A and B are shown apart, each in its own frame.
Chain A
Amino acid sequence: MTEPVLKVSDLSVSFRSGGRTVHAVDDISYEVRPGEVLAVVGESGCGKSVTSMATMGLLPPTATVTGSVRLGGRELVGASEKELARVRGNDLAMIFQEPMTSLNPVLTVGRQIGEVLRRHQGLSRKQAAERAVELLDLVGIPAPRRRVGEYPHQLSGGMRQRVMIAIAVACDPSVLIADEPTTALDVTVQAGILDVLRSLRERLGTAIVLITHDLGVVADIADRVLVMYAGRVVEHGEVHELYAQPRHPYTNGLLGAVLKPGAEGKRRLPEIPGLVPSLEAQPDACTFAPRCPRATERCTAERPQLDRAACWHPHEVEAR
C-alpha cells in the first residue's frame, strides 16, 4: 500500500469569543493516499468545513489549532505564513462551494489561472497563457482558446466551478480539498463536475478530500468515508461497507433519512429526533447519546473511542 500523502492526527480546533469557547473540531484523525477520494460527511455545524480550513491553514487568528497535519512529510500546523503560502495552491489546493465568490470578477479566467502558474512555477506570461488553455481543456471546458479570454460572469455556474478546479490543479497538487463543490449546481451539471474530479484522480493521481453533506455524491465518487457529528468522527470506513452496514446509530439514522430518488414510495421517512448539541461543552461522553435510540448509561458517562465506529453499542455486522 502506498504511503498516505496527507496525514491528519489528533486535530482539534476551538474558537474563543466573548469568554466562550466553541470546540468546532474535537480530536480527529484521517489520512488520504494518492489517487484516493476521501469523503467527509456530516450535517451543518458538524465541523467538516472547519476541518478542511484547518488543514489548509486558513483559519483566522481567533482559532486555536492543535494536533498535526503532515503533507508529504512536512508539518503544516504551526508553520509560518511564508511556508504555508508556498504549499497552498502548489502542493495543497482547495475549491469552494460558490465559485463566483472565489473568482475575481474583473480578471479573465486565463489571467486567474496564469497567476498561480507564474507565482508558483515561475512561468512567463506567454507560457502561463498556453498552460491555462491546456488546463481548461483538462477540466472539460469546450472551446478553451476562446474561454480563456472570458470573464467569470460570462460563464455558467458549472463552467465557473470547472475554472476553479483548473486553478486548483494548475500546479499539479498532490492533495485537492473540495468543499461542497457541487452543492450550488444542478444535478445534470453536478454529474459533469464529479466526472472531472474522477478524471483528475485517475490521470494525475490527485488525492481528493471531498467535504459534502450529500450522501448521493459520496456514493458516486468516494473510496472511503468519514462521518462527523458535533465536531467528532463517529464512524469511518470503506464506502461500500459503510453504506451496506453502518455501525454507528447516527450513520444508520442518516442513511435511513436520506431520500432515494426512483425508490421513494409513500413511506414515512425515519427521523432523527432532537437537535445537534452545543459545541461549548466537550463532554466525556458520546455526543450523540441524547438523540440515540440505543443509548445506555455508559454512553453518557464515558467517551467511546473510534474503532470503526465511536460507539459503545454499534449495530452488529451481519454474518454474510
Chain B
Amino acid sequence: MNDKATGNAAEHAAETAYEQALELRALTRHFGPVRAVDGVSLTVGRGEVVGLVGESGSGKSTVGRIAVRLDEPTSGSVHIAGTDVTNLSRRRLRPLRRKFHLVFQDPSSSLDPRMTIGEIVAEPLRLHRIAKGEEARRRVEKLLQQVGLRPEHADRHPHQLSGGQRQRVSIARALSCEPDLVVADEPTSALDVSVQASVLNLMADLQRDRGFGCLFITHDLAAVEFLADRIAVMYLGQIVEEAPTAALFADPKHPYTQALLSAAPVPDPGAQRTRERIVLSGELPSPLDPPARRPTTTPAGRPSRGVFDSCRFHTRCPLAEDRCRTEVPALRTLPDGKRQAACHLVAEDGTAPDAAAANTHN
C-alpha cells in the first residue's frame, strides 16, 4: 500500500492513532494437508472485545497464536494497532511486543514455577525497559491490587496459589505493559464455576477501565456472551458467522450457530428439558479429510489437499441441499450491515433458515 519512503511515517502515525487493535486479513495456516485456518479475516476495534467461538479443531486457537506472532501464517497478514507485524523479524518485533499479550488457558503451565509472582509480573516491565527496581516493585504492587491479589502474594511462587489466583497473575502480567491488545485463549475454562465468575468480572472491569482490545477465544458460549461486544463463530478453519453479541444470541443465522446455541445446556431444569435441540449428524470432520466434493485421497490412499467446492458444514447440516454440496458459500454481509454469514440458505434479506424445524428431536 505504502511505498518505502512513506511506510515509516505511516507506521509512526499509526502508533498514536490507530483504529483497529487487531486486524487479520485473509489468514491461512496449513500444516501439511491440514488446513487449520483457511481464510480468516477479523478485526478487533480499539477497546472492543471480540469473541472467537468454535469447537475443538475449528482452528480458533491457531488464529489466536498467529495474532500474537507465536505462529506464522501460511498466507495473509496480521496488523496490530495499525502496524503490519506479519513479516517483521524477531528483532523488529521485539519493541512492538509490549503492545500485545496472550493469556493462556492453564496458568499452572504458563507461569514459571521457579519465579516469584512479583518477578513474573515484573518481567515484561524489565524486558521492555519500562521500569526497574523500586519503580517496578511499586507497579507490580499496583497491578496485583488491580487483579485482586494482596501485596504479599508477590513473594510467593505459583504453586502456592489457587488456580483462580494464578489466572489473576497471568492477567496482571499481560496488562503490565498496558497493551493495546490482549488475546485470551480459554482463560476461564479450567476454573471452577465460582472462580470463573470472579475472573470474568475482573476481565470485564479491567477492560472497561483500561480500554484494551481483546480477542477472547473460547468454546464457552455463555462466557463470550458475558464479555464480548461481537462474536465470530468458526467451523473447520473458517468463520461461518459474525454478529454483535445480542443479535447473535437472539437470531443466529447460520445453522451451525443455531445448533451450537441449542446444544449448550441451560442451568435450569424446567427450561432445559423443554428446549428444542438441533442434533447434528456425525461429528466434526477431521481437518485432514474435510468434506469436499472432490476425492480427498490420492490413489495411494494418502490425503491430498482436496479442493473445496461445497459448504464445509454440509455433512452435518440438517438443512443441506444440493447447492450446499456443489458450491462454496461466501461470507457475505447481511442487509443490516453489521452481520455476516456464510450460508446459501440465509435469504437475501437476511432471514435465517430454521435448523430446528428440520429435525424435531428434543
Contact = CB atoms under 8 A, between A and B. Distances in A.
B270 A240 contact: yes
Contact of B226 (A158, A244, A264): A264
Contacts of B198: 269, 271
B194 A43 contact: yes
B279 A191 contact: yes
A250 B100 CA distance: 38
A123 interface: no
B106 interface: no
A264 B222 contact: yes
Contact of B266 (A43, A216, A272): A216
Interface stretch (B79-87, B256-264, B330-338): B256-264
B200 A261 contact: no
Contacts of B260: 187-188
B201 A192 contact: no
B56 interface: yes
B269 interface: yes
A219 B280 contact: no
A44 B200 CA distance: 18
B99 to A, nearest CB: 27
B162 A261 contact: no
A186 to B, nearest CB: 4
A216 B269 contact: no
Interface residues of A, number: 47
Contacts of B264: 187, 216, 261-262
B287 to A, nearest CB: 12
Contacts of B225: 259, 261-262, 264
A105 B275 CA distance: 38
B277 A191 contact: yes
A158 B193 CA distance: 24
A43 B190 CA distance: 11
A257 B194 contact: yes
Interface in B266-323: 266-273, 277, 279-280, 282-284
A271 B269 contact: no
Contacts of A306: none
B245 to A, nearest CB: 9
A254 B193 contact: yes
Nearest to B262: A191
Interface string A262-283: 1110111111100100000000
B252 to A, nearest CB: 10
Contacts of B200: 259, 269
Given A43-B193, A156-B284, A260-B267, A186 B56 contact: yes
A179 to B, nearest CB: 16
A262 B221 CA distance: 8
Interface hub of B163, B201, B261 (most chain A Cβ within 10 A): B201
B263 A270 contact: no
Interface in A226-273: 239-240, 243-244, 253-255, 257-264, 266-272
Contact of A192 (B55, B221, B226, B279): B279
Contact of A187 (B219, B226, B249, B273): B219
B265 A219 contact: yes
B209 interface: no
User: Contact residue range for chain B?
Assistant: 35 or more
* Residue of B162, B268, B273, B284 contacting most chain A CB atoms (<10 Å): B268
Contacts of A188: 55, 259-260, 263, 280
A219 B263 contact: no
Contacts of A190: 263, 265
B135 to A, nearest CB: 32
Given A213-B192, A260-B222, A186 B268 contact: no
A214 interface: yes
Contacts of A258: 193, 197, 267
Contacts of B261: 261-262
Contact of A259 (B192, B222, B282): B222
Contacts of A158: 283
Contacts of A254: 193-194
A195 B362 CA distance: 10
A261 B225 CA distance: 7
B220 interface: yes
Contact of A262 (B162, B194, B266): B266
Contact of A215 (B204, B220, B267): B267
Contacts of B346: none
B267 A257 contact: no
B194 A272 contact: yes
Nearest to B285: A156
Contacts of A186: 55-56, 219, 284
Nearest to A187: B263
Interface string A173-201: 00000000000001111111001000000
A261 B223 CA distance: 8
A217 interface: yes
Contacts of B279: 191-192, 195
B131 to A, nearest CB: 31
Given A186-B56, A190-B263, A262 B197 contact: no
A38 to B, nearest CB: 14
A170 interface: no
A158 B283 CA distance: 8
A243 B193 contact: no
Contacts of B195: 43
Contacts of B221: 187, 261-262
Contact of A213 (B193, B223, B259): B193
B267 A239 contact: no
B225 to A, nearest CB: 4
B57 to A, nearest CB: 9
A195 to B, nearest CB: 8
Interface of B: 55-56, 162-163, 192-198, 200-201, 204, 219-223, 225-226, 249, 259-261, 263-273, 277, 279-280, 282-284
A-B pairs, top 4 by smallest CB distance, nearest first, are A216-B265, A259-B222, A186-B55, A43-B192
6 contacts: A187-B219, A191-B277, A257-B193, A258-B267, A260-B222, A260-B267
